[in-house]
Structure 1
Amino acid sequence: MNNFYTFSYINSPIGIIFIKSTPAGVCQIDIGYNLNKDISIVCTKDSPVSIQLMEYFQGIRKNFNIKVDIKGTPFQMKVWKALSSIPYGSTKTYKDIAIEIGSPKGYRAVAQACSKNPVPIIIPCHRVVGSNGRLGGYSGGGGIKSKTYLLTLEKSGGQIV
């Protein structure tokens, strides 16, 4: 097993985003990260994923073309793959995702898998809402405030005033 990681970060409208990568791809994204707690970590601001995330927040990028190196249960991997197919500016419900992956009664398990997403924004778990239209939680970081910002950014075509 390769334990070589690179670290990068960006200052975003929803807080500092900390990115951890392996040679195979991005493995972790933390939103609202406190860099001061890990002073020993050397970070860069110019990694490909950092650049693509900044382009996303500037409204330039609608899709990411970076590799991810994530681990999860087979169910989580199915959910995360389904999340990746939700178009920019669109939303689906937890139930929609459950049906899509062949577990029509598994909407709560889908919500749990969303909460375990290791690379939010890249795998857009923020695009999943409750059947009643409520935003639900956002474990990707920053809570509902971040989720609201991301959805508003995308609904506006990347142009938040």
Structure 2
Amino acid sequence: MALLCCHLPTPLGEMLAVASDRGLCLLEFDTQQRIGRELAQVEAARGGPAQEGRNATHDQLAVELAEYFAGRRQRFGVPLDLVGTPFQLAAWQALLQIPYGHTRSYAEQARAIGRPTATRAVAAANGQNKVSIVVPCHRVIGSDGSLTGFGGGLPRKQALLALEGGAVQRDWIADAG
């Protein structure tokens, strides 16, 4: 399976996009320290090194990212080829269910995957999300409403949440502890 990678500009910085024949495997800001490790994980899981180039997934992603940052897209349609453990994949599927302009707590995300005591494991899985923005881990915040952990940095998380709604709706009840 061929892995192709290219760089895509966004208003928040250049991003590395890696896609297989099946879909998007990695989308991260170039400045992230973990990008090399994540790329190596994708390459190992998909059987070879990524080559510079683009495919239809990259083209669709470029259009959808431009629409998202212009405020004209709330849901991505680009095909995904996520690389992770079964638990991580479940956590990431729960992220895909958080509506645009809304947030959830890590505890609420844990409940959504049927693992109500796995709040820390869910937070760790979100930290391993290799497809920033499209798999919206930026929509998960602390139970007290605080902005916590985001691989792209908290200023980018804040900017993404502001883009999605100015005053982000907190439609969950704060969890105790």
TM range (shorter): 0.7 to 0.9
Give the aligned partner of residue 16 of structure 2.
18
1:81 aligns with 2:93: yes
1:1-161 correspondence runs (5 A) = 2=1, 4-33=2-31, 42-43=52-53, 47-139=59-151, 141=152, 143-156=153-166
TM value normalised by structure 1: 0.85
Q: Show structure 2 runs of 5+ residues with no match.
A: 33-50, 168-177
**TM-score, with length taken from structure 2:** 0.77
Separation in 1, partners of 2:6, 2:62: 7
Structure 1 residue ranges, 4+ long, deviating more than 6 angstroms after superposition: none
Take 1:104 and 1:26, find their aligned partners in 2: how far apart are those partners?
A: 29
Gaps of at least 5 residues in structure 1 are 35-40
1:8 to partner: Cα distance: 2.7
% identical equivalent positions? 38
C-alpha distance in 1, partners of 2:15/2:166? 22
What SS does structure 2 have at the residue aligned with 1:30? strand
Secondary structure of 2:156 counterpart: helix
Q: What amino acid is aligned across from residue 11 of structure 2 in structure 1? A: P
Give the partner amino acid of 1:52. Answer: E
RMSD of the TM alignment (CA)? 2.1
